[in-house]
Amino acid sequence: MAAVASQNRSQSKTEAARGTQCLDRAISILLELAEQSPIGQRLVDIAEATHVSRPTAHRILKKLSDSGLVVQERGTHRYKIGPLGHRLDALDARGTRFVETCRPGLERIAAETGLTTLLGTRNGRFCACVARVDGAEGDHPAFGKPGTSGILGPTALGVAILSQLRDEQVEDILFEHEWTIAYLGHATLQLIWTKIRETRVNGYSLSSSDFVDGVTSVAVPIVARPGHCHASVAVVSSQPGSLVANAAAVAAILARETKLIGAELQLA
């Protein structure tokens, strides 16, 4: 009996050690992908950088992909941080200095417009809502919860960010999401491009049930440096008539506050 018990303890220790080793390797792979985002990494490069054999790296990547922490591009077969990874990053971002820098501006917008105000950030080819301030006119419980993440494009927040990127950057991002956009069925690439061009002309993005049923949004990008945009601010409403009619006036309030935020980010 003593020999059997000793053998069981030894087996348990071995299994625990293997589990810890597998976790360590998965963490190393995620860190490597995070450093290379949004370019991504090939399997052979991941294995070499993390000192893991290709079969082992492939097995771990398969598990990470199943969970949504990692995605593999169809065309290049490169691995990148997936939507769940970006969502976790968004949840953590709520406590960062960036959000705290933006929060006073969000509060002023919500107080002046009476509307729910959202802060969105770009994470590679995804867009995450990282902060929200509800105005006096009520709440949008089904839309814009902090920590939620989606593909960069079919939202007013996403369009505002894309409007500041070069066309080739936009094409690359939308190409990767083409099948997802088609599957969702509510928006089209043509509609997103139209909204991007309108935003470049008007200085703000306007969406009235174009991307989300029953939600009207006005969004303005946050630009800390010319040609660099990783965030935007939007107000949302379930009453399209009022916001659409006053879109330019609301956008002017957003533009004022995003300009202040951009200036603060430059000094940070």
161 — pLDDT class (breaks 50, 70, 90): very high
Q: Write the Ramachandran bin of 185: left for phi over 0, alpha for psi from -120 to 50, otherwise beta.
A: left
pLDDT of residue 75 exceeding 50: yes
Cβ-in-10-Å burial (0-12, 13-18, 19+) of 244 comes to middle
CB atoms within 10 A of CB 192: 24
Query: pLDDT band at residue 224, thresholds of 50, 70 and 90?
Result: confident
- 11 band by pLDDT with thresholds 50, 70 and 90: low
Which pLDDT score is estimated for 85? 65
SS3 (DSSP) at 206 = strand
Percent of all residues in the chain with a pLDDT value above 90, rounded to a whole number: 28
pLDDT at 17 over 80: no
Output phi, psi for 94, to 5 deg: -60, -25
Q: Radius of gyration of the chain from Cα atoms?
A: 22
Higher-pLDDT residue of 205, 76: 205
- Enumerate long-range contacts of 139-143, CB under 8 Å, 24 or more apart: 140/116, 140/215, 140/236, 140/237, 140/238, 143/212, 143/215, 143/236
Choose the weakest-confidence range: 77-81, 246-250, 257-261: 77-81
Q: pLDDT band for 82, please (50, 70, 90 cuts).
A: confident
Report d(CA 79, CA 33) in Å as an integer. 7
Contact 197, 257 (CB under 8 A): no
- Confirm if 196 and 134 have CB atoms less than 8 A apart: no
Ranges of each domain in the chain: 2-81, 85-267
- Give first-to-last CA distance, the chain, whole Å: 66
| pLDDT tens readout for residues 242-256 | 888 889 999 999 999
Average the pLDDT over each of 106-115, 147-156, 250-259 and give the range with the smallest value.
147-156
Alpha carbon of residue 153 to chain centroid? 10
φ, ψ dihedrals at 138, nearest 5°: 125, -165
Angle ∠(243,206,171) on CA atoms, nearest 5:
165
What average pLDDT does the segment 74-81 reach?
A: 82
Cis before residue 55, ω within 30 degrees of 0? Answer: no
- Residue 166, pLDDT > 80, answer yes
Contact 133, 106 (CB under 8 A): yes
Residue 160: the pLDDT is 94
Give the CATH number of domain 85-267: 3.30.450.40
Question: What DSSP designation does 209 have?
Answer: S
> Tell me, what's the pLDDT at 94?
47
Cβ neighbours for 86, distance < 8 A, ≥ 6 positions apart:
123, 124, 126, 128, 149
CATH fold for domain 2-81: Arc Repressor Mutant, subunit A (1.10.10)
Mean pLDDT of the chain: 81
Q: Given this chain, do its domains 2-81 and 85-267 carry the same CATH topology?
A: no
Section 228-255 average pLDDT: 87
